[in-house]
Amino acid sequence: MPKTNYLLFLSCLFFLIFKIVSIALTDFDLFGDEAQYWLWSKNLDFGYYSKPPLLSWTIALVCSFFGNSIFVIKMISITIYCLTSYIIFLISKKLLNNNKLAFLSAVTFFLMPAVSISSFIVSTDILLILFWSLALLQILIIKEKPSKINFILLGIFIGLAFLAKYAAIYFIFCIIIMFFEKEMRDIFLKNKISFLYCIIVISLIATPNIIWNFNNGWLTLNHTIDNAALNRTDINIVGGLVFVVSQILMVGPLIFLFFCFGFVKNLKYDFNTKFLIIFSFPIFFIILIESMLVKANANWAAVSLVSFLILFVHTTFKFNRKAIFLNNMVNLVFGLVIFFLISISSSNEPFKRINGITSFANSLFQDNKKSINSLVVSDRILFSNLSYILRNKEIKIYTPFIPSSKISHHFQITNSLSPNFSKNFIFIGQQNQIKYLKNKHSVTLLDTKRVQFNNEPIMIYEVVF
């Protein structure tokens, strides 16, 4: 192994250990969405309000073996990104049959700023990217050996990606575009029955979630449409520029710049380039348009970064190999800084939302332990965090919900406060949110807490029947 590659390998190994130690040392709490996914994992189903079920199934499996600690939950992301990095290695090796370049692709992915940040966050993106990468690899395997089993495996990976996040639908869109590439079009057309098997497998895996959505009024679909906000279009060029810059920062500005310098001279428009562009640029373009019309979060095009990253590395490798090493060292420093701040439980702005929730929950319990058999929390994020932190307490937690009104989060389905509820409870929220209760009751303000993790003061009431 060349000296630079050996140094990169040791750097990645050190960074991996540093991540694990930082998570073990931190006093940070789970992010609200992470706590929500953990709660979902305690009530396994084929779907949930805002997301498909695969992440919750994964959390349930991991926690059943290793417990429910924050360390265990956070290790899910790190483990999956290690697996994905190896898959990136295999994809690159299939494309160019060059172990050195494949290694650089895998390392560059592992050290990518987006991966450094995301490896501390348990999100649906980690599983989507894993199975997206496996599906990419499987297409290259089909190119070499278009057997029925390989098409079935492709269907399994796409189906599981769909159960991770609905953005997997982009993969189907990219396959359709791939039919314009003659070599792959001929393979798919010559193996129609095998391709049909692939479609059947995708359908079989996706069907339980589709049925769940049908039985629950298409909750997840409607939530996804609301997120897209296509009914509120307004051209915003600045939004598009912000999105482009966010993608450059996610993949790493240096590798992007090096790619641009070597683009004209070294980009070869062969199958490899076409393959990587087909599974990256269309997604990037769709989200770019959406960012200019309504809005787009930086992670919405995350799957496009897999192919973009490999393309950047392959092109830059021809232009300047040392540039890749420099890019990775800069990204490593960025990652080390992030995880150092995590290890010391930094109170800086980016970490405010995961700081101080446990101390708030403990003080809430201590102040009201004689009367806190039932807790009602209106905010979804705070509901999730408190449910996780107080999981070992004999406390039932509910959320306000007026029957027949529009559902705005999953706990209004599973933990709604009935209009006929008649037991005393502690309430966190706004008084008007529980006006629908039918039984006569009094509401007394107990405390107003200003906390780091919430911009607005938290109002705590006692409700007595």
Residues 87-133: tens digit of each pLDDT: 999 999 999 888 989 999 999 999 999 999 999 999 999 999 999 99
329 in a structural domain: yes
115 in a structural domain: yes
For residue 9, the enclosing domain spans 3-224+316-343
245 in a structural domain: no
- Cα end-to-end span (Å), the chain: 73
143 & 59 share domain: yes
Q: Up-side HSE of residue 33: CA atoms within 13 Å toward CB? A: 10
**What token pair was written down for 111?**
């050290």
Q: Is the pLDDT of residue 252 over 80?
A: yes
The Cα–Cα gap between 209 and 160 comes to 11
Give pLDDT, residue 193: 96
335 & 385 share domain: no
66 & 103 share domain: yes
Q: Is the pLDDT of residue 231 over 60?
A: no
Q: How many domains does the chain have?
A: 2
Beta bridge partners of 416: 399
3 state DSSP class of 461: strand
293 in a structural domain: no
Q: Is the pLDDT of residue 57 over 90?
A: yes
322 & 428 share domain: no
322 & 458 share domain: no
Q: pTM of the entire structure?
A: 0.93
| Residues 417 and 395: beta-carbon distance below 8 Å | no
**What token pair was written down for 266?**
């070294």
Give pLDDT, residue 216: 86
360 & 337 share domain: no
241 in a structural domain: no
Q: Is the pLDDT of residue 290 over 60?
A: yes
63 & 115 share domain: yes
331 & 388 share domain: no
21 & 105 share domain: yes
325 & 427 share domain: no
183 in a structural domain: yes
What is the per-residue pLDDT across 411-456, written as a single tens digit (0 to 9) for each? Answer: 999 999 999 999 999 999 999 999 999 999 999 998 888 888 888 8
Collect all residues with Cβ–Cβ distance below 8 Å to 180 and sequence separation of at least 6. Answer: none
**What token pair was written down for 29?**
């709490």
Q: What is the dihedral of CA 403, 406, 411, 415, to 10 degrees?
A: 0
What is the per-residue pLDDT across 371-422, written as a single tens digit (0 to 9) for each? Answer: 678 899 999 999 999 999 999 888 899 999 998 888 888 899 999 999 999 9
56 in a structural domain: yes
| Residues 181 and 274: beta-carbon distance below 8 Å | yes
284 in a structural domain: no
57 & 174 share domain: yes
Q: What string of H, E and C letters represents the secondary structure of 25-74?
A: HCCCCCCHHHHHHHHHHCCCCCCCCCCCCHHHHHHHHHHHHHCCCHHHHH
pLDDT greater at residue 405 or residue 135: 135
334 & 361 share domain: no
Nearest to 380, CA basis, from 414, 347, 352, 405? 414
Helix (H) or strand (E) holding 263: helix 253-266
Beta bridge partners of 463: 425, 443
